[in-house]
Amino acid sequence: MLTLATTAPGEAGIEDLRRAEIFASVQGEGPSAGRMCAFVRLSRCNLACTWCDTAYTWRFDDSRPHRDDAVFDRKAEQVTLPEADVAAAIAALGCDRLVVTGGEPLLQGAALARMAAALPANVGIEVETNGTVRPHPAFAPFVAQYTVSPKLAHSGNDAALARDPAALAAWAADPRAVFKFVVATPGDVAEALALADAAAMPRARVWLMPEGTAPATLREREAWLKPLSETAGVHYSDRLHIHLYGDTRGT
């Protein structure tokens, strides 16, 4: 069984499969930006980023910090579905690329392997992960790309978990892994590049992306982050879906 986030939390009369956050949209971030993809958003996370824009996947009590006061009801925000049902819903979207996101999706690696086995053979799988959980050995063969997003100090997470050097080096050794750092200030760029170099991440596989859930914030940060990215020899990533749809679920 897979535990998913919802697009219609707790809405009466809507069956779980229809409430589950399974959708088709344009990938807004990283190397696949602009590509039409299927998405499945899983619930639960082992980190607690203060600026997280999907806190409804993990903030079920107020003991985990976040810049907003909202605390979400677990029963309303989670649905648990058979892997075969999730695979069928993804296949019905007709996309040849699936983005598995969260939350932290690799916490459910064994169930993801069963889901992946039920997908059409032409569907390539891209996983968005915070890089703290190693892929389940049964799921890893199905994955075409890992988009690893190590969390910097401004995320508010404990460094020993979020920025473990050995874990980052292991990801850097996997040619399927690309790296996406969320940046809020110019000082974050130096931290990101230092982490990348220490873990031997090739700069050709590194993206820097502005933190923000409003187009105006992204544009303001793009003005200084894009030139810094070019100077450092890494890629700049926008958040295209925010410009297209705003900060909304199922997009």
**Could you tell me the CATH number of the domain that includes residue 62?**
3.20.20
Indicate whether this model's pTM tops 0.85: yes
Q: Is residue 248 part of a domain?
A: no
- Looking at residue 8, its pLDDT comes to 84
Confidence of residue 136 (pLDDT cuts 50, 70, 90): very high
Confidence of residue 178 (pLDDT cuts 50, 70, 90): very high
Q: Is residue 251 part of a domain?
A: no
Token pair 């997908």 in the structure block, residue: 119
Q: Can you tell me the mean pLDDT for 160-169?
A: 96
Q: Is residue 66 part of a domain?
A: yes
Q: In this prediction, what percent of the chain has a pLDDT beyond 90?
A: 97
pLDDT, the chain, mean: 97
Q: Can you tell me the mean pLDDT for 234-250?
A: 96
Overall number of domains in the chain: 1
Give the domain extent around 45: 2-179
Which DSSP string do the residues of 95-140 spell out, in sequence order? -SEEEEESS-GGGGHHHHHHHHHTS-TT-EEEEEE-SSSPPPTTTG
Q: Is residue 101 part of a domain?
A: yes
Q: Is residue 102 part of a domain?
A: yes
pLDDT for residue 13 is more than 90: no
Q: Is residue 230 part of a domain?
A: no
Which DSSP string do the residues of 182-223 spell out, in sequence order? EESSHHHHHHHHHHHHHTT--GGGEEEEE--SSHHHHHHHHH
pLDDT for residue 1 is more than 80: yes
> Would you tell me the crossing angle of helices 109-117 and 83-92 to the nearest 10 degrees?
50
Confidence of residue 126 (pLDDT cuts 50, 70, 90): very high
Q: Is residue 76 part of a domain?
A: yes
Phi, psi at 141, each rounded to 5°: -65, -20
Token pair 């064994």 in the structure block, residue: 110
How do residues 43-76 score in pLDDT, each as one tens digit? 999 999 999 999 999 999 999 999 999 999 999 9
Q: Is residue 226 part of a domain?
A: no
